[in-house]
Amino acid sequence: MDKKKRILRIILIALAVVTVFVAGKLTPSLAAPGENVTVTFDSQGATAVDAQTFPKNGTATEPADPQKTGYDFVEWRKEGDATAWDFSTPVTADMTLVAVYEGWNIKVFASAYRPADNDYLAHAEMTVTYSNPPPDSYSQTTMANGFIRFDVPYGQVVTVEETKVPDGFFLGGPGPYSLRINDEGKLEEKNLGDGSGQWEESDGDVYFYHYKKHPILVSKSGEQDPETLLEEAELEILGPAMDSVFKATSGTPEFENVIMITEGMPYTLRENIVPPGYVKCADVIFQVDHEGQIKIISGEANVQNKASGYNLPPRITLVNKRESPPSDTYQVQVISERRLTGEALAGAKIEYYDKDDLSTVVEFTTIAGANSIDLEQGKVYRFIQKTDPPGYRLWGVSIFECMMDDLGRFFVRPDGDVNPWEEMDSRRLAFLNHRELPIILSKVAEDAPDVEQAGATLQFGWPGYPDYLVKASGAPEFPKTVVISEGICYTYSEITAPDGYEKHEDIVFFVDKEGKVVIENGEALVIEGKDENPHTIVMVNKKVSKPPDSGDTPGSGDTPGSGSTPKPDDKTPKETLPDTGDDTLLFAWMGSSVLLLGASVLLDRRLRLRASKNH
pLDDT for 402 beyond 90: yes
Mean pLDDT, rounded, of the chain: 86
- In this structure, is residue 178 part of a structural domain? yes
Mean pLDDT in residue range 393-409 = 93
Nearest CA to 120 among 132, 136, 109, 131? 109
Please tell me the predicted confidence (pLDDT) of residue 29.
38
Whether 158 contacts 149, CB under 8 Å: no
- In this structure, is residue 596 part of a structural domain? no
**For the segment 153-197, what is each residue's pLDDT rounded down to a tens digit?**
999 999 999 999 999 999 988 889 999 999 999 999 999 987 777
* Count, residues in the chain: 615
pLDDT for 576 beyond 70: no
CA distance 123 to 165: 7
> Could you say which of 488, 520, 541 is where a domain stops?
541
Which amino acid, one-letter code, is at 480?
Answer: K
Q: Quick one: 193 and 172 in the same domain?
A: yes
State the sign of the Cα–Cα–Cα–Cα dihedral 24, 29, 32, 34: positive
Please tell me the predicted confidence (pLDDT) of residue 537.
96
Whether 316 contacts 284, CB under 8 Å: yes
**For the segment 143-160, what is each residue's pLDDT rounded down to a tens digit?**
999 999 999 999 999 999
CATH number at residue 230: 2.60.40.10
CA distance 168 to 171: 11
Residue 134: is the preceding peptide bond cis (ω within 30°)?
yes
253: three-class secondary structure by DSSP = helix
Q: Quick one: 51 and 148 in the same domain?
A: no
Whether 206 contacts 223, CB under 8 Å: no
Q: Long-range contacts made by residues 131-134, C-beta under 8 angstroms, separation at least 24?
A: 131/156, 131/157, 131/158, 131/159, 132/156
Instruction: Give 205-252 as a 3 state SS string.
Output: EEEEEEECEEEEEEEEEECCECCCCCCCCEEEEECCCCCEEEEEECCC
CA distance 233 to 270: 10
Query: 215 - beta bridge partners?
Result: 260
Mean pLDDT in residue range 215-222 = 94
Q: Where are the beta strands (DSSP E) in 346-398?
A: 349-354, 357-365, 371-376, 381-387, 393-394
- In this structure, is residue 551 part of a structural domain? no
CA distance 384 to 320: 25
CA distance 218 to 259: 8
Q: Quick one: 489 and 516 in the same domain?
A: yes
- Report how far Cα 181 is from the mean position of its chain's Cα atoms: 13
Please tell me the predicted confidence (pLDDT) of residue 599.
54
Residues sharing a CB contact under 8 Å with residue 207, sequence separation 6 or more, in sequence order: 110, 111, 113, 173, 174, 175
- In this structure, is residue 556 part of a structural domain? no
CA distance 130 to 137: 6
CA distance 333 to 345: 14
Per-residue confidence band for 13, with pLDDT thresholds at 50, 70 and 90: low
Q: Quick one: 229 and 200 in the same domain?
A: no
Please tell me the predicted confidence (pLDDT) of residue 553.
44
Whether 101 contacts 155, CB under 8 Å: no
Per-residue confidence band for 6, with pLDDT thresholds at 50, 70 and 90: low
| Helices and strands (H, E) in the chain, number of each type | 2, 43
- In this structure, is residue 4 part of a structural domain? no
CA distance 119 to 125: 17
Q: Quick one: 440 and 537 in the same domain?
A: yes
Q: Quick one: 46 and 134 in the same domain?
A: no
Q: Quick one: 289 and 359 in the same domain?
A: no
CA distance 392 to 338: 8
Q: At residue 452, what are phi and psi to the nearest 5 degrees?
A: -60, 125
Q: Quick one: 98 and 189 in the same domain?
A: no
pLDDT for 584 beyond 60: no
Q: Quick one: 465 and 394 in the same domain?
A: no
Structural domains counted in the chain: 5
Angle subtended by helix axes 2-30 and 583-614, to nearest 10: 150
Q: Quick one: 312 and 251 in the same domain?
A: yes
**For the segment 278-337, what is each residue's pLDDT rounded down to a tens digit?**
999 999 999 999 999 999 999 999 999 986 667 889 999 999 998 875 568 899 999 999
Q: Which domain holds residue 92?
A: 37-103
Please tell me the predicted confidence (pLDDT) of residue 488.
93
Most confident of 20-24, 218-222, 475-479: 218-222
Mean pLDDT in residue range 9-21 = 54
Please tell me the predicted confidence (pLDDT) of residue 511.
95
CA distance 259 to 315: 10
Per-residue confidence band for 74, with pLDDT thresholds at 50, 70 and 90: very high
CATH number at residue 57: 2.60.40.4270
**For the segment 586-614, what is each residue's pLDDT rounded down to a tens digit?**
454 455 555 555 555 555 566 565 555 55
Mean pLDDT in residue range 356-379 = 92
Q: Quick one: 353 and 377 in the same domain?
A: yes
Q: What angle do CA 517, 519, 525 make, to 5 degrees?
A: 80
- In this structure, is residue 584 part of a structural domain? no
Alpha-carbon Rg for the chain in angstroms: 46
Per-residue confidence band for 567, with pLDDT thresholds at 50, 70 and 90: very low
- In this structure, is residue 66 part of a structural domain? yes
**For the segment 43-66, what is each residue's pLDDT rounded down to a tens digit?**
999 999 999 999 999 999 999 999
**For the segment 516-565, what is each residue's pLDDT rounded down to a tens digit?**
999 999 999 999 988 789 999 999 999 998 765 554 444 444 434 334 44
Please tell me the predicted confidence (pLDDT) of residue 258.
94
Please tell me the predicted confidence (pLDDT) of residue 548.
58
> Could you say which of 414, 434, 454 is where a domain stops?
434
CA distance 45 to 54: 25
Q: Going by DSSP bridges, is the β-strand pair 410-414/436-445 parallel, antiparallel, or unpaired?
A: unpaired
- In this structure, is residue 586 part of a structural domain? no
Q: Quick one: 109 and 61 in the same domain?
A: no
Whether 335 contacts 432, CB under 8 Å: no
Please tell me the predicted confidence (pLDDT) of residue 261.
96
Sheet holding 525-527: strands in order across?
Answer: 480-485, 436-445, 535-541, 525-527
Query: 219 - beta bridge partners?
Result: 317
pLDDT for 571 beyond 70: no
CA distance 222 to 231: 10
- Report how far Cα 374 is from the mean position of its chain's Cα atoms: 48
Please tell me the predicted confidence (pLDDT) of residue 24.
45
Percent residues over pLDDT 90 in the chain: 73
DSSP at 578: -
**For the segment 362-373, what is each residue's pLDDT rounded down to a tens digit?**
999 999 999 999
> Could you say which of 434, 452, 475 is where a domain stops?
434
CA distance 425 to 318: 39
Query: 113 - beta bridge partners?
Result: 120, 209
Terminal-residue alpha carbon distance, the chain: 19
